[in-house]
Amino acid sequence: MVPSSGSDASALLDALDLWLRQQTIENVLPKHQAKALLADLRDDRRFWAQQRRQFAIVWTSIEAALRVETRPLSTVMGPDSCVRFLDAVEQMDDDPALVNAVLRSEVFETVLGKILYDAIFEFVQRADFLGNVFNQLPVIGAIRMQMLTAARKQLDEVLGAQISRFLGEYTAAAVESAATYLVSAETESKRRRARRRLAEKLLAKPIAELFQVSDMEMVLVRDAVWLAVQEFRLPDEEQLVDSLYAEFGHQPFTIMLPNRSTAARGDAPLYERGQSVLHAVLERFLVSGEWSTWLAEAHGLPVKADARGSIHVTAAVTVAEQQQQQQRKAEEVDEPAEPSEEHSEVAEESSSAQWDGWD
């Protein structure tokens, strides 16, 4: 019979599942075909052009939704996910090499030097060493103030240059000391608490505030992400494929599928969802006009359309039966009728009267 119902789709899926479980990975997808697919994926410009348009549409939709999303990130993630995220951030180990690279960068050294310079100058101004000295001089107040102002200006010029030279030599040592202290065991608990507080503040922010970037910046980010996806290359891809097939090519395809008992218990939701999607697609396809047309052209079956325009194919077994019935009717018409008993007797008498002497 012609497949045309959900039971036929289920039978096809069951047959495919059974066949796959009897194959190896190499049989399902040979290594040379995998390499060819990988090469075609890289070289198919039309494919990437089509995907680029789809990527832009999806990106724009997601971006527009995020820009107006007022819920905090913690609400979107849910309480359980937030707890796991905070625990993971808190327990995350610091990379000393990364910390040193950040602290010893030119930008950080410049910032640290500026902070030290302002702090030293602020201390000198607040201590007011010159003011305390000039206040004790036996001169008139107006003259004393002029002397104090001129002395402070001269001190700032001399002291500022000396502080700058000192910090230029000391900043690198200060950064080294800060990096060593920051990754020491003494500050480990403080670093963990600081990371957790930072993560909590991040989760408490509305999602829209996390995407406060200009349209131009967002376009640059989008293009950078797309370029990274399109140009992504694994090192020594062909050698990697060879290694994977050498390790897993002879393995049964069942390593990619859950066993039947697991699927029967409902412990493989992704597998079940995939089967459900494929079943729905096959079920719609098997009752479609495209399937009926192909079946008719491939097997020479009659096709008819109902009042709604749906195409139907007569089952092959029914056509065979009709052909057999027509053949039997034709044989019955062509075959002469058997004579009756009365006609047989008359024929015998006639043959006796015409005796020709042979007896």
Tens of pLDDT along 110-141?
777 777 777 776 676 666 555 555 555 555 55
Tokens representing residue 324 in the block: 């057999």
For residue 260, the model assigns a pLDDT of 80
Instruction: Name the residue with tokens 């039947």.
Output: 260
Cβ neighbourhood burial of 22 (10 Å; 0-12, 13-18, 19+): exposed
Confidence of residue 6 (pLDDT cuts 50, 70, 90): low
User: If DSSP codes are grouped into helix, strand and coil, which group holds residue 257?
Assistant: coil
- Whether 95 shows a pLDDT value over 80: the answer reads no
Confidence of residue 176 (pLDDT cuts 50, 70, 90): confident
Contact 146, 95 (CB under 8 A): no
pLDDT band, residue 356 (cuts 50/70/90):
very low
Beta bridge partners of 304: 312
Which pairs count as long-range contacts for 214-220, CB under 8 Å and 24+ apart, including other chains? 218/63
Domain definitions of the chain by residue range: 297-334
Q: Provide the pLDDT for residue 251.
A: 92
- Please list, residue by residue across 234-247, b when 16 or more beta carbons sit within 10 angstroms of its beta carbon and e when fewer do: eeeeeeebeeebee
Q: Tell me: the pLDDT tens digits for 292-306?
A: 888 787 777 666 655
Residue 198: name the closest of 92, 102, 105, 63 by CA.
92
Q: What is the pLDDT of residue 27?
A: 92
11 vs 130: which has the higher pLDDT: 11
Q: How many CB atoms lie within 10 A of CB 112?
A: 18
* Residue whose C-alpha is closest to residue 124's, from 155, 149, 92: 155
Tokens of 298: 């491939």
Is residue 87 within 8 Å of 195, Cβ to Cβ?
A: no
How would residue 29 be classed by pLDDT, with cut points 50, 70 and 90? Answer: very high
Q: What does the pLDDT read at residue 177?
A: 79
161 pLDDT more than 80: no
Give CA angle at 143 (141, 149), nearest 5°.
100
DSSP 134-145: HTTSSS-HHHHH
What does the pLDDT average to over 10-32? 91
Q: What is the mean pLDDT of the chain?
A: 76
21 class by beta-carbon count within 10 Å (0-12 exposed, 13-18 middle, 19+ buried) = middle
For residues 129 and 24, the model is more confident at 24
pLDDT at 209 over 60: yes
Question: How far is the C-alpha of 24 from the C-alpha of 84, rounded, in Å?
Answer: 39
Please state the rounded mean pLDDT for residues 103-108: 74
- Average pLDDT over every residue of 73-79: 89
| Cβ atoms of residues 26 and 244 within 8 Å | no
Q: What percent of the chain has pLDDT over 90?
A: 15
Tell whether the model's pLDDT for residue 106 goes beyond 90.
no
pLDDT band (50, 70, 90) for residue 348: very low
Q: What is the mean pLDDT of residues 154-181?
A: 71
What was the pLDDT predicted at 152? 62
Task: Quote the percentage of the chain above a pLDDT of 70.
Answer: 68
What pLDDT does 25 receive? Answer: 93
pLDDT at 164 over 70: no
Summarised one tens digit per residue, pLDDT across range 259-283 is 888 888 888 888 888 889 998 998 8
Task: Indicate if the pLDDT at residue 163 is higher than 90.
Answer: no
If you ran DSSP here, which 8-state letter would residue 253 be given?
A: G
State the first-to-last Cα distance of the chain, in angstroms, to the nearest integer. 65
What local confidence, expressed as pLDDT, does residue 352 receive? 43
| pLDDT band at 320; cut points 50, 70, 90 | very low
Q: Summarize the confidence of residues 182-206 as an average pLDDT.
A: 87
